[in-house]
Amino acid sequence: MDKLPNRPRPPLRAVLFDAYGTLFDVYSVAASAEQRFPGRGEALARLWRDKQLEYSRLVSMADAGGRLYQPFWDLTRASLRHAAQTLGLALDEAAEERLMNEYRHLSAYPENRRVLQQLRALGLPAGILSNGDPAMIAVAVKSAGIADLIDPLISVGPLRCYKPDPRVYQHGLEVLRQTRPELQARQVLFVSSNGWDVLGATWFGFTSFWLNRAGLPRETLDPPPTHEGRRLDDLLPLLGDPGGAADA
Amino acid sequence: MDKLPNRPRPPLRAVLFDAYGTLFDVYSVAASAEQRFPGRGEALARLWRDKQLEYSRLVSMADAGGRLYQPFWDLTRASLRHAAQTLGLALDEAAEERLMNEYRHLSAYPENRRVLQQLRALGLPAGILSNGDPAMIAVAVKSAGIADLIDPLISVGPLRCYKPDPRVYQHGLEVLRQTRPELQARQVLFVSSNGWDVLGATWFGFTSFWLNRAGLPRETLDPPPTHEGRRLDDLLPLLGDPGGAADA
């Protein structure tokens, strides 16, 4: 872990995106939830997401050996059920399937494709490093129309633990090194809208970009993100001129 | 980890309580927060607690070696600041100190003392196993008037990781074994109002009691708690007749 934030950073050579919340809008399920449960859609989407993250952390923390690991899809279903019960909503099988199907085909943020095209034009590899299962990620990028622009798709599945376990970020680096053996962690720009994920990536040693779409306050746990922006486009200036990618 | 929930359980020989949320009411700070920030006290208390738990999990997950560990007191302060910023509340130094001081002296649930006295009468050791720092726990039990009835006070401090890391529950067992070398995990009743803590304890192998004061739905991640009750008194029938402490 890098304790020298003021050391000049080397040019960025690759980009890894978080998926859920970053490329795909996890709260886009709220609209569908609102149709089924008028007045409660947003609350359900929020509790669902919170519980999904909690469960992913609990199984990771409680057994580093992966025996308690469950695929993200299963945790997503379990957390939907808990969120509905917490709000006292009757979630029958049809409603559960409809919401799970919405989660499989989350809305993508509109600027994704344009930004990914520009990364492609710059010759930079742009992949996903996600807590999602391989099948979830594959369906999501296809559904969002960005499958041709994003590669590699890296899932925690084979590791049986979840971000921010540092083994996940290490795995992302190793996959990129299969084609770029000299790549250093600091040459990878890790992009996430999730403050906790940016923390984990920064702790690990990646150069980080916090995509703060909602204008939220920074996490009060150090270190801060290397870079921060409000839109995905804001990361392009860091990459267009490799010499200019110094600390924010 | 015990995968045989239907195997008859041995009599319970000791009790370990979670502290925050279980013996001490973490939301009792809401009243003080409400005085300072009318209309926002409850929201502040809830965001504060959520962020405190999140930060404890992130530092534990991101570095099992404990280099990222920060004392619970420091995480509690960092999370208060983040919660206030999220709500757009101006938390000056005096307000921060007042709320931190409230957290140091949380309200205790009224039945604590009576139940602990009955455990004492039964000759059962009753200790605390908490994410709190040693000093926080010591002040809290003194402030709550139960210091004479609860022993040992076991903190995660020396381990530099947080529940539900299984090393914490193992440490609790080992401390109890200093005076009862033959004690098995299943002979320890672990009591918590926090669903995630009950999960961690059950995964570890303790007999668990979910103190579900608020009548919340069960976690939808297996296994279920060994036992469940709405008040602290509800655990007494499990202990009075050691032969009767079978599964719920």
Query: According to the CATH classification, is domain B26-104 in 3.30.70.890?
Result: no
B167: pLDDT strictly greater than 50: yes
What pLDDT is recorded for position A5?
Answer: 52
Burial of B70 (0-12, 13-18, 19+ CB in 10 A): middle
Distances (CA, A) of B88 to A216, B40, B245: 10, 10, 49
Q: Which residues of B touch A (CB under 8 A)?
A: 1, 50, 54-55, 57-64, 67-68, 70, 75, 78-79, 81-82, 85-86, 162, 164-166, 196, 199-200, 203-204, 216-217, 219-221
CATH number of B14-23+109-244: 3.40.50.1000
pLDDT band at A102; cut points 50, 70, 90: very high
Burial of B110 (0-12, 13-18, 19+ CB in 10 A): exposed
Domains B14-23+109-244 and B26-104 share a fold: no
Tokens matching residue A198: 């940016």
Q: Report chain A residues whose CB lies below 8 A from the CB of B75.
A: 221
pLDDT band at B243; cut points 50, 70, 90: very low
What is the torsion angle, in degrees rounded to the nearest 10, for the CA atoms of residue B69, residue B70, residue B71 and residue B72? -90
Burial of B215 (0-12, 13-18, 19+ CB in 10 A): exposed
**CA atoms B56, B59, B60, B66: torsion sign:** negative
Put simply, the answer to whether B59 touches A221 (Cβ < 8 Å) is: yes
Domains of chain B by residue range: 14-23+109-244, 26-104
pLDDT digits (tens, 9 = 90+) for A54-97: 999 999 999 989 999 999 999 999 999 999 999 999 999 999 99
Say if residues A48 and B190 touch (Cβ distance below 8 Å). Answer: no
Looking at the complex, report in whole angstroms how far the Cα of residue A119 sits from the nearest Cα belonging to chain B. 29
Q: Which helix (H) or strand (E) holds A180?
A: none
Q: Concatenated DSSP letters for B11-39?
A: PP-EEEE--BTTTEEGGGHHHHHHHHSTT
What pLDDT is recorded for position B7?
Answer: 63
Minimal CA–CA distance to A54: which of B189, B50, B63?
B50
Q: Report chain A residues whose CB lies below 8 A from the CB of B57.
A: 57-58, 61
A244: pLDDT strictly greater than 80: no
Rounded distance, CA A35 to CA A89, Å? 13
pLDDT digits (tens, 9 = 90+) for B41-50: 999 999 999 9
In total, chain B counts a number of residues equal to 248
What is the torsion angle, in degrees rounded to the nearest 10, for the CA atoms of residue B103, residue B107, residue B108 and residue B110? -170
Q: Report chain A residues whose CB lies below 8 A from the CB of B165.
A: 61-62
Instruction: Give me the interface pTM, i.e. the ipTM.
Output: 0.93
pLDDT digits (tens, 9 = 90+) for B195-229: 999 999 999 999 999 999 999 999 999 999 999 99
Q: Concatenated DSSP letters for B94-149?
A: HHHHHHHHHHHTPEEPTTHHHHHHHHHHTT--EEEEESS-HHHHHHHHHHTT-TTT
pLDDT digits (tens, 9 = 90+) for A181-206: 999 999 999 999 999 999 999 999 99
